[in-house]
Amino acid sequence: MKYKVWTGKTDRDRETSIREGLDYIGWHDIIQKNARVFMKPNLTYPEYKPGATTSPDFIDTVIKIIKERTPYITIGESDGGNRSYTAEVPFKGHNLYEITKKHGVELLNLSRDSWKMIPVKDRFITLHIPLSTRMLEEFDVTINMPVPKMHFVVGYTGAIKNHWGLIPDTMRLRNHFFFSRAILEIIRLTSPEIVITDGTYFMDRNGPIRGDAIEMNITVIANSPGAADVVLNHIMGLNPSQFIYMRYAVKKGMAPGILDEIELNTDPGQFHCRKFSLNRSFMDWFATAGFYSKWMTRVVYDSPLAEPIHKIIRSFRKKEHVTSLLENDIRIRSCSENQQ
């Protein structure tokens, strides 16, 4: 497959920009007439939060365009991780009940569907992750609507990592220790895919929900999540080889190693206006240390120590949040604003 990525501004006419990007990657060849389409926004917070979740207006615009090709559209998400909330909470917080009713499309909580266990080869053993039966059997194309962010554990999150929310098990964090292999298997099973990035805001400093929302007003549209992430990394001043799962995607042929392997409509470097970086807190470093560790995951989530550990974590997180507020932490910044 030839990687194709379109990048452009959306501050004047979002719909026209998205249409131009879709035409550039040849979306009519990917979405056949009356195809069954699954849309995956980023709903990692109970309500719309700039730089953290896909905006309701962006979702509304994408549905409007895709409906011209097919009426068979389903928007879906799984329950929040670690039993934090059901998918219905962000559905309401992002006005998705109203939006889907307006367009006559379906809203689906993947966690309420039946599940199938999917094998994932991890070196010399085979592990398993659950996926929705409908997700695996019903849909012809996936439309991925990520938000580009720094991420306190994996470093960066965008198009590839947005697939993690397809795992319907609210305790999917138990599978973090083989994340790189699992996420690529999910992408393989849910392809073909179109990425339509909500780049109204990117998140700097400490994502996926607690960083600074940087106003960018661009979208990146691609025929591959790996290619989309390589371009987004370039815009953010990041090197994809910094991130374990990105290196693995390149190794497995699911992401380009360099920009020269991508057919681009323009040089994405022209959209670079600041170098994004990660500023981890003490508890972030603790979480990072355990992310790829199977035994530490079991201790934190599946042992008698789980509850007291989480009480300590919540206490530290609360103190970090209060400190941030006391320091007048600016939540929304322009891209050209000087970094502190």
Neighbouring residues of 23: CB distance < 8 A, sequence distance ≥ 6: none
**What domain range includes position 195?**
3-334
Q: Give the DSSP H/E element, type plus range, for residue 216.
A: strand 212-222
Counting the structural domains of the chain, the total is 1
In a domain, 180, yes or no: yes
In a domain, 65, yes or no: yes
> Could you please report the per-residue DSSP string of 1-18?
--EEEEEEE-SS-HHHHH
Q: What is the pLDDT of residues 268-292, one digit of tens each?
A: 999 999 999 998 776 666 666 666 6
User: Comparing 314 with 254, which gets the higher pLDDT?
Assistant: 254
Q: What is the pLDDT of residues 140-183, one digit of tens each?
A: 999 999 999 999 999 999 999 999 999 999 989 888 889 999 99
Report residue 106: phi and psi, to 5°. -95, 150
Burial class for 258, CB neighbours closer than 10 Å (0-12, 13-18, 19+): exposed
In a domain, 37, yes or no: yes
In a domain, 339, yes or no: no
At CA 309, angle to CA 308 and CA 314, rounded to 5?
95
Q: Which of 171, 163, 55 is nearest to 111 (CA)?
A: 171
Determine the pLDDT at residue 239.
Answer: 96
Q: What is the CATH number of the domain that holds 223?
A: 3.40.50.11440
Q: Per DSSP, what are the bridge partners of residue 199?
A: 218
In a domain, 320, yes or no: yes
In a domain, 340, yes or no: no
Determine the pLDDT at residue 300.
Answer: 59
Determine the pLDDT at residue 328.
Answer: 42
Q: What is the pLDDT of residues 174-230, one digit of tens each?
A: 888 899 999 999 999 999 999 999 999 999 998 999 899 999 999 999 999 999 999
Determine the pLDDT at residue 280.
Answer: 78
Q: What is the pLDDT of residues 66-92, one digit of tens each?
A: 999 999 999 999 999 878 899 999 999
Determine the pLDDT at residue 124.
Answer: 86
Query: How many C-beta atoms surround the C-beta of residue 318 within 10 A?
Result: 10
In a domain, 308, yes or no: yes
| 3 state DSSP class of 46 | coil
**Does residue 82 come out as left (phi exceeding 0), alpha (psi in the -120 to 50 range) or beta?**
left
Task: Say what percent of the chain tops pLDDT 70.
Answer: 85
In a domain, 91, yes or no: yes
